[in-house]
Structure 1
Amino acid sequence: MNALAPLATSALLGTERRAPDWPMLEGALGTLLSRIPRDSVEKALLQAAGVLGTCQLAGFLPARAGNVPAPATDDALPEDSRIDLLTSILTDGPERLQAEAFIKIAAAGRQLPHRLLPRALECGRRSVALRPSLLRVLGRRGEWLAAQNDSWAYAVGGGSAETLIDDVWQHGSLDQRRLYLVALRERDAAKARELVREAMSTEGAKERTAFIECLATGLTMDDQDLLESTLTDKSKEARQTAARLLSTLPESRFAQRMAAHLASFVKAEKKLLRGTVVTLEAPNAFDAAWKADLIEESKPKGASMGERAWWLFQIVRSVPLSWWEAQTGMNPAECLALAQKSDWKDALLQGWAEAQAAQRRVEWAEAFLGISLPPNGPLTVFDLLETLPPTLRETYFLKLVTDNDAKMIALSTIVDRFIKGLPMDAPMLSPAVAVKAVKILKQRIHSGEARYDWQLRHSLVELACLLPVAAFDDLAKGWELAKEETQPFAEAIARIGIVLDQRKQLQNP
């Protein structure tokens, strides 16, 4: 670790929380640092960082290692021989292409060539999303190399959270501690929960809120007691986060209480000729007991809905969506249709939108995609797409690209948000959807409609990483480069050809 790193940690955490680890250096640099007065710790830290930063920019010789590390043990798997191809991909290939390369290497029972390990570890340092696929192909030598550089510590011990507890949980930045908790939740949810429980009595409001949010990973009824206790936290944000998570657990005490609050306002009656008729009314008066469940009596300034609607909205957003289906006998689309005709339309739709943002129900996502979403709400079309399974997701993606109404959204936004919502190991688009989407995108570009959509150049290259082999030629060929409307995309089209060629080579181990 260089001398700047511990000072940076102290600056991020605050010198009261972690005292600076003053560098002890020899020679002229050490003499200069020793002359910095330390009557003000904060000022001394910044001055020392300024000296070290200037020296680092000017260049320095690394210190001679006192103890040479033991050699790495031999790897059990052979190295992949495609060094030139992998070098090119790791140097300037899209992240999704890099992930595909790692996945293909692992599937072939190989590991990365040793000479490419530093480059690959740097890619993983920059992108957390790449790490799961990268860790599979580092081998023993890659893990040994990672142990020699603190910047690559994520790869030590197979990237397990246990290896990071002292360094990250105790002294890391808030983002690092959040990442640690999420990783630990996936391996040992109970241990992560206990760390959060302990932190709730010692950390600031921002940290408490962030750590409670991490419980969303692997959330179960075992987390109920901790979340219930957070409903009385001093931080409003922490309380609201805990309530939102509890609302996603239909069997939780909180969700049951909210459903009980709502039950008295919703009636489903069977009529002889009309079938089941559902009626709903908003509360006539505020119940003081609701305050314990974070229902506020006074609406925010500027809120468009009335007082009764405000109370109803708060209850609706915290009730499990499954309750509505069970209580009314209606499916999500029918519930949304009922709301459209209700006097309490805004309270219902906005409440359900917030509930869907937290609960992420597939059936409700489909239903919401069939209506106009509440303005300025928590849901966007892309949030809903991310909830859907791959087959449905790509179907709605194609609909967005195709529909005239979608022209209000830039093509690059549609493509980019769709791709970013997919995990790195997501399956390729189906051939039929891929061919149709590429055809429409090319038509829009040739027509000049996307001439000023600069981000689309990058998005098309990313899309090339999701195409099945059957659609390669559809994207790589048939471009009318002589047209003025297409010329701004010339560089991107050449880049697409390179990426698709690299993907073809990856198909052959």
Structure 2
Amino acid sequence: MSTPANTPLSTPATGVATSWEELVSTALVGTDRRPLPGAADPAAELLAQAAVHTVRARAGRRPRPGEPLEPAPAEEQPAVPRAAGDRLARILGGEQGRLLTEWLRTAAGLGRRVPAHLLPDLLDHAARDRSIRPYAAVLAGRRGRWLARLNPAWDFLDQEAGAARPRPEEWELGTPGDRRAHLAALRAADPAAARELLAAAWEKETPDDRAAFLEIFADGLGPEDEPFLEAALDDRRREVRHQAADLLTRLPDSRLARRMAERAARCFTAAGRRILVDPPEECDAAMERDGIRSRPPHGTGARSWWLQQLVARTPLQVWPALLGRPPGELVRAKIPDWEREVTAGWVRATVLQLDSEWARELFARDPLADLLAVLPREEQEAVAAGFVRGHGLDGQLIMVLGGAAAPWGPALTRAVLQKIIDLSGTQPWNVGELARLAGERADPALHGLAERLSLEPPIQEVAALLRFRDDMLKELIP
């Protein structure tokens, strides 16, 4: 029970009761003029009594009538196997903590839930790490949502889908996350039905929800979506307009694509082996509507900023026709002015439009993880393996490997393991991050390959991590 400020308080040093008001008064006039009775050191006693008062005021609570909590609802999802739950407890406790996302992603994909006693620890991790929240929301089950209502730090669960397989009624009654999950499931099954469902509710949705819903349209995107997306360019919220513009950029025959092609034609000219560029002089309302931001970032010139965005939103098929050269020659062409902006725009357009031909040519010029990720899976692994064999160990190598889809197959895994062996004798201090990356992204079934390849400690560390992951996944998927 809390202690009122005027409740007398005694301490073992004096045995004399003193109220908070008396302590404040003594502090104001000084213990020399108003000594505390029986205190050998009045100043120290004053501070001690004030500290006790403060702790009692903060810790106490007056009893009041209350209602018992409703019990947590019964679970609908099966729990993970006991061995998997035990391993999750070890990971949450710090053992191989970088594997937490893989464990959660795998378990959530199976529609499982975590043991109840691990929920607080899991939700605390998700409160700190946004990237794992979608998985935590599924794995928390109904008890996890019940717990989240009791702790404001966990209320992020309402923004995530709470079931691996959402039910139709959640579009009307579910949390924002549940509604996104329902729309995504419908979009995957019937793109037109998803578009019609969203169009019917569009005006009632919040700006944040409208932007989030549009992200889902990347799945099954087609010409039939253009009228809806073109109308979204007039939305009041900038994020909604830019999301719509990103999607329309992927439709090469859309009206937005044609408008961008016309703008590009006014800015680019082929002159022999050179490409001449004259960036826009202004960013008018029509350009802003089409997703070009008028205000450049700090340190970037306005025309430079507009040019880069214009190139990024122009369909890649426009450039060979406009400049008379195939992508490979365009990427290597001489651009006397504005080369950096044009190249950056082409990279952004390639990632946005998922064009493997441009990705291949641009990667050969400037190896970037985002470009590698655009290539088909088999080619991606072959390109990454070749890059590993021909490139030294530096930050760029690590970043490029981050763009190679996991799990890595035998070719890329062998190339990385051989790189570790080659460097262990000359740069043993420099292979740690590469070894960790290999252990976390290679196919865990390849642990035997690593074990047999070399007895070098970094290779054996990779093998141990792969075996840990292999056991982890087998526990989740018996």
User: Which residue number in structure 2 is paired with residue 27 of structure 1?
Assistant: 2
Maintained 8 Å contact 2:388/2:397: yes
State which of 401, 404, 407 in structure 2 corresponds to 1:428. 407
User: Which residue number in structure 2 is paired with residue 45 of structure 1?
Assistant: none
**For residues 277-310 of structure 1, what are the alpha-carbon distances to aligned partners after superposition, in whole Å with 9 as ceiling and x for unaligned?**
9996656x9788977426999x9999899x9x99
User: Which residue number in structure 2 is paired with residue 471 of structure 1?
Assistant: 446
Deviates more, 1:124-133 or 1:182-191: 182-191
SS in 1 for 2:388: helix
User: Which residue number in structure 1 is paired with residue 374 of structure 2?
Assistant: 387
Cα distance in 2, alignment partners of residues 302 and 505 from structure 1: 48
State which of 68, 82, 88 in structure 2 corresponds to 1:86. 88
**For residues 104-161 of structure 1, what are the alpha-carbon distances to aligned partners after superposition, in whole Å with 9 as ceiling and x for unaligned?**
5567786433333333333333333334444444444444444443333344684389
Maintained 8 Å contact 2:268/2:276: yes
SS in 1 for 2:408: coil
Change (3 A) 1:310 1:462: closer
- Structure 2: which amino acid aligns with 1:87? A
- Structure 1: which amino acid aligns with 2:397? I
Maintained 8 Å contact 1:164/1:180: yes
SS in 2 for 1:507: helix
Maintained 8 Å contact 1:249/1:255: yes
Maintained 8 Å contact 1:365/1:388: yes
Change (3 A) 1:390 1:319: same
Cα distance in 1, alignment partners of residues 265 and 287 from structure 2: 16
SS in 1 for 2:82: coil
Q: TM-score, normalised by structure 2?
A: 0.61
Cα distance in 2, alignment partners of residues 300 and 71 from structure 1: 49
User: Which residue number in structure 2 is paired with residue 128 of structure 1?
Assistant: 130
Maintained 8 Å contact 1:227/1:246: no
Cα distance in 2, alignment partners of residues 286 and 66 from structure 1: 66
Cα distance in 2, alignment partners of residues 296 and 505 from structure 1: 46
State which of 418, 427, 434 in structure 1 corresponds to 2:401. 418
Maintained 8 Å contact 2:80/2:113: yes
User: Which residue number in structure 2 is paired with residue 42 of structure 1?
Assistant: none
Cα distance in 1, alignment partners of residues 102 and 383 from structure 2: 24
Change (3 A) 1:130 1:254: same
Cα distance in 2, alignment partners of residues 88 and 428 from structure 1: 23
Maintained 8 Å contact 1:185/1:218: no
Q: CA RMSD in A?
A: 5.6
Maintained 8 Å contact 1:181/1:192: no
Which protein has the larger Cα radius of gyration, Structure 1 or Structure 2?
A: 2
User: Which residue number in structure 2 is paired with residue 370 of structure 1?
Assistant: 364
**Where does 1:99-498 land on structure 2 (aligned, <5 Å)?**
99-102=101-104, 105=107, 111-155=113-157, 158-159=161-162, 186=184, 190=198, 194=202, 199=207, 215=214, 218=217, 221=226, 222-228=228-234, 247-263=249-265, 282=277, 292-293=286-287, 315-325=310-320, 331-337=326-332, 340-341=333-334, 346=339, 348-356=342-350, 358-371=352-365, 373=366, 381-404=368-391, 406-407=392-393, 409-410=394-395, 414-415=397-398, 418-419=401-402, 421=403, 427-448=406-427, 451=429, 453=430, 457-458=432-433, 460-475=435-450, 478-480=454-456, 497=464
Q: What percentage of aligned pairs have identical amino acids?
A: 23
Maintained 8 Å contact 2:438/2:462: no
Deviates more, 1:251-260 or 1:139-148: 139-148
How much has 1:252 moved relative to structure 2?
A: 4.1
Cα distance in 1, alignment partners of residues 372 and 274 from structure 2: 31
Cα distance in 2, alignment partners of residues 498 and 107 from structure 1: 22
Higher RCO (CA 8 Å, separation ≥ 6 residues):
1
Change (3 A) 1:143 1:197: closer
Cα distance in 1, alignment partners of residues 437 and 378 from structure 2: 19
Maintained 8 Å contact 2:127/2:154: yes
Change (3 A) 1:136 1:390: farther
How much has 1:480 moved relative to structure 2?
A: 3.8
User: Which residue number in structure 2 is paired with residue 272 of structure 1?
Assistant: none
Change (3 A) 1:445 1:368: same
Maintained 8 Å contact 1:73/1:140: yes
**For residues 364-407 of structure 1, what are the alpha-carbon distances to aligned partners after superposition, in whole Å with 9 as ceiling and x for unaligned?**
11110112x4xxxxxx7122223334333333332332223x45
Maintained 8 Å contact 2:249/2:256: yes
User: Which residue number in structure 2 is paired with residue 6 of structure 1?
Assistant: none
- Structure 2: which amino acid aligns with 1:121? L
Cα distance in 1, alignment partners of residues 152 and 297 from structure 2: 48
Change (3 A) 1:465 1:280: closer
**For residues 219-263 of structure 1, what are the alpha-carbon distances to aligned partners after superposition, in whole Å with 9 as ceiling and x for unaligned?**
553232232466xx9x9x998888666544434433322212344
User: Which residue number in structure 2 is paired with residue 67 of structure 1?
Assistant: 68
**For residues 3-59 of structure 1, what are the alpha-carbon distances to aligned partners after superposition, in whole Å with 9 as ceiling and x for unaligned?**
xxxxxxxxxxxxxxxxxxxxxxx835999xxxxxxxxxxxxxxxxxxxxxx979x97
Cα distance in 1, alignment partners of residues 68 and 172 from structure 2: 25
Change (3 A) 1:462 1:63: farther
Cα distance in 2, alignment partners of residues 468 and 62 from structure 1: 58
How much has 1:447 moved relative to structure 2?
A: 1.6
Maintained 8 Å contact 2:450/2:462: no
Cα distance in 2, alignment partners of residues 103 and 90 from structure 1: 14
- Structure 2: which amino acid aligns with 1:362? S
Maintained 8 Å contact 2:73/2:142: yes
Maintained 8 Å contact 2:382/2:411: no
Cα distance in 1, alignment partners of residues 463 and 204 from structure 2: 46
Cα distance in 1, alignment partners of residues 466 and 171 from structure 2: 36
